[in-house]
Structure formats: C-alpha cells, structure tokens
Structure 1
Amino acid sequence: MSTIMLKPYKSNIVTLSANFVDYFMPKARGEYVKVYITLLRYTQMGEDGVTSNFLADILGLLETDVFKALEYWDQVGLISLHTIDAHGSMSIEIKESQSLVSPLLTRSEENPVQSEKPTSEPEKRTENMDPMLQEISMLMGRPLSSSEAEKFLYFKEQYKLAEEVIILLVQHCVLKGKPNMKYIETVAISWDSQGIKTAELAQQNIKKHEEKWMNYRKVLTYIGMSDKDIPKPQEDLLEKWFYTFGFTTEMILKACDISFNTLGKVEMGYINGILRSWLKDDIKTLQDIEKNEKKPRKSRPTKKSQDKDFTEREYDYDDLERKLLGWDK
C-alpha cells in the first residue's frame, strides 16, 4: 500500500452565500461589506489572523471604520465577536456564511427542476417577527440580532413600556445618531426610573430633551464641538451650567470668550470656574459683569514684587487661572 501525500491547496475563490448577497449586503454600508468579504477571504484561506491596521490599509478605511463594521456584523449575527485580552485583540467566528449556502446547494441538487427560491432564515425571521420588532428594524435600518430582539421584548415585559413607547424611544435614539443598543438601553432605564410609560409622557420627555439640546448645541457649535462626540463629563457640565447654575446661553458664551482670551483655548474646567464665581457673586447678566468690572480693585502684592501694590478687579481672571491650574500652590 502506498501513501499519497497531499499538498495543502488554498482556493483563490471567496465563497459568498446567496442570502448574504440577497438580504444582508443591500442593507449594509459599503465599507462594512468590504470588511466582511475580506474577513471571509482570509478565513477561507486558513489564515490565523489579521490586524485591524492591515485591514484598514488594504481597504482604504480608518481603523474606527473597521471596528464599526465588526460591531455591525456581530449585531446582525453573521459573525461572533469576542475580546480576548486587554489590548483589544479579538476572536472572530464567521457564523452563518456556510450554513446559508449549504441548504441552497442541497435543495437544488435534490430537485434541479424546482425553480422556486427557498426562503432564507433571515427572511423567515423577518416575516414572522413581532410587528413592533419589524418597525424597530426599519427604524434602525438593519435586521435585529436575536439578542437585540430579546432585549426589546425585555423592555416591554420588565419595564412595562408600551410598544409605541419603545418605538418612540428607538426613533429618538436614531435621530440623535446613537442607534446602538447600549445607549438605547440606557435611555430605556432612564425612562423607567422617571415613570415614562405612555406615548404622551414619552413625547413630552423627547420635546424637553430636544429643547435642552438646542441650548447645548449653541454652546458646542460656538466652541467647535459636535453634540454626537461630546463625552459624558462635558455633557454633565453643560447641564449644570444651564439647569443647576441657571445661566443663559449668552452668559455661557461670554465665559467661553473669556477662556479663549485668557488661555488661548476653550477649557471646560476653566469655564466652569468662571461660572461658579459668577454664581457666587450673583452675576447673572452681561450688565452685571460690566458693573463688577467697574468696581475698585483690591490691593494685592504680585509674586514678582512683594513690595509693589496694584489694584485689580474684584473678579480677577488671571488669579482664577492660577488657581485652576494649581500655580498658586
């Protein structure tokens, strides 16, 4: 008996399922499709792994686009994505590419004459889906993963949110540019804690939220920031300035000007210090600032010359800067 040695053969063909082409590809962004097909190629070639930087380079994308694509395909269920270490390394398993193709090939081999196209699993899932979930899927512009569908049903059962309230919640998050499940769940928890259980209360809350963000956007636009990119600590500062301190947009923009003129940049912590001082001194309007600037300055020795006195305003921005930056210690 002779042993026949086989040399490994790597196909130069990337196999895509018909269901991917018919159902998933039309709904996905172009760069997401590029990432998925490239992952499929290297998986089918038996590669152990690729780096996000490599994918970004060969596809002409940013690394952030690559990560967004991976999150998208994980959400729709075509890949299983797991972080495996503290450096952000990931384990990726292509979950449905072969299972979506095999049934089609098997059926056509068994009955070559049959021309009727079999219904794919995603299509069946969509047809049989709860009407609320169907509408949510349309709002989000993509099919829901099974875990996402379960989460929305959980909102309904656990938080006792009406279906129309959940739909309003999703619509609100999508319009804010934050259609990810983590943010949607955060809003759902907030609504539950506030007792927002009806469509009327939900609409009132959304209107109040939009009015609040209209004020925020004026400040953010003025200092060159986007409301979609603002970190939570900065958002909390804006809320404090408007709704705890009670300052108008005009006064906050004035504080922004002072920060820029003093530091050469807009520093949120510095602005917060200015507004706290104004609150303490009961300065609420631009006229109050003007009146305060006309008050006689207190005599205070400079650091350069202890024996030379000078007068300054009761509200001293230079002194505030030193304190905020820790230079007075």
Structure 2
Amino acid sequence: MAEEIRVSVEFIEKELPLAPPLYVSVFFMTQAMGRQATAAEVAQKLDILESDVLKAWKYWKGRGCGLWKEEKKARALPSARPSYSAAEVAVSLKNEGVKELFSYAEQKLGKCLSHHDMVLLLGLHDWLGLPVDVIELLLNYCVSLDKRGMHYIEKVGISWAEEGIDTVEKAAEFIEMRRRGYREIMREFGQGNRLPSQAEEAYMKKWIREYKLPMEIIKTACQRTVLRTGGVSFPYADSILRHWQKAGVRTIEDVAALDAAHTAKKEKAPETKKAAAQPKKNRFINYTQREWDESEWEEMERRERDQW
C-alpha cells in the first residue's frame, strides 16, 4: 500500500459531506491500494460487494474525482446476474434496506427465503440497481397476479430495469397501465379472462406509450377489428391505430370526422367506374329490338291458318 494519502482541503470540505459513507471508504481504500487495484480486491479489503465498489467508482467519476486508468473507468456491471456466495449474502444483510427487503419478501411470499431466493432478490437490487421500495412494489405486483415463483419475479424485474422503471412513480404507472389498460383492451377483444402474450403486450405498450392514444380510441379500434375480421387481430388493430395516430386522432369526434371524409371521397368516385362494370355489347345483342303492333300479329296468325 502507499505510505500516505494526500487529498485537498477543498475535497474534504465539499465532497466528503455529500458522498455516501460507503463511497468515501471506497475512495480512500482505492487511494491506499493504488491505481492497479481491482474492484474485487477493494471489495475484499472492505468486506463489501464488488458491485458496490463499481458504483462508488462511477459516483466519483461523475464528481470529477476519478482515480483510475481509463480501462478501470470503463468497467460496468456484469451482463449476467452475479452468483453470490453465502458470505456475500451475509455481508449484504448489513445493509438495512436489503434486510428489510428480505423480510418483506418473506411476508408477501408466505415462506422463509432460501439462499437461492436471497440471491435473486439481491441481484435485483445490487446487479440491476432497482431501489428497495421499487422491488417491494414488484413483489406486490407479481403476488397480485398469483405469480410467486422467484424466476418469474426476476424476469419482470429485468424487464423493469431495461425499461428504466427505477422509481416508485414509474413502477406505479406501469402497474396501472398493465392492470387497467391491458385488461380493458383484452376485454374489448373478448379475451378478458386471459393474460396477453408477449407479442400482444408489445402491441398494447406501443399503442399506449409510443402512439400515446387515449384508451377510448384504442378500444374503438379493437371493436372495429372484431367486426371486420370476426376475431382477434392485433396487427389489424395496429394498422387502424397507426393510421389514426398519423392523422392526429385524439377523440371519438376525430374518428367520426375521418370516417365522414372517407365516405364522402367514396361517393365522389367517377361514374366511369360504374360504367366499366356493365357488360359489353356484342353482335348478338347489339341491335334495336323491333316493336310489333296488334295488326301485324293478326296478319301472321291468318297466314298460318291458311297454310293449314
């Protein structure tokens, strides 16, 4: 280790009061061990998780106080969930937030957590970076769907992290959209008693989040889809909604105006189209029919009688 650590008075006065205590420990331990120290080595010295060291380095880099070579600064969290040992799980329990999370999970899931359960929950917090209160909402949401399996919970957690759902507000918005929005759409398709598939969910998410269409407009498109196709067709409904979104539709009145414009356009179609549908005349029917008067019929009958 280095014999002494030099920091400025300005750093002590301005940075140390703002930084989390753990990040301060990482800062000085990294200084003491030198630039060649790895995150794993610093974590071992401080008896903390390697990911905590990486988070601390990221924090100090953001504060303009990076201490490490460029390749160290470029390090990121692993792409796959770490495999935490029993000792690492025990260390995580020193964090009151993690301890409360495990207790809450046992209460919601109605069981004592196994080591594997703890590893998955710890991964949501430590690896994916989801706050404890967000994970608690995640657990509550999954249990409400009667999905208590840890792999399912982790799968939903990963999708939340990928979508940037990292606050209670964002999580609540997602849950409301899923419970109310998705359910209403599925009901309009006559599918209210089943959960949507992944592909169906992608369509609904696009309508609500990307197109930003009101629910009454989405439901109207679903109704038209069922009437026109006789069944459930998310691609067909998407074609309707994509057209409406491009046309600036926001209300039912907008839909009615669009329908009226379409009907008016059809009624103004050239008469030549109707004429083209008529059968063509040919040499067998292209003549003017002769009209016979009563005297001619009588004369014809008289000649026929004379022949007999």
TM range (shorter): 0.3 to 0.5
Q: Which has the larger radius of gyration?
A: 2
More helix by share: 2
TM-score by length of 1: 0.45
TM-score (norm 2): 0.48
- Pick the structure with more strand per residue: 1
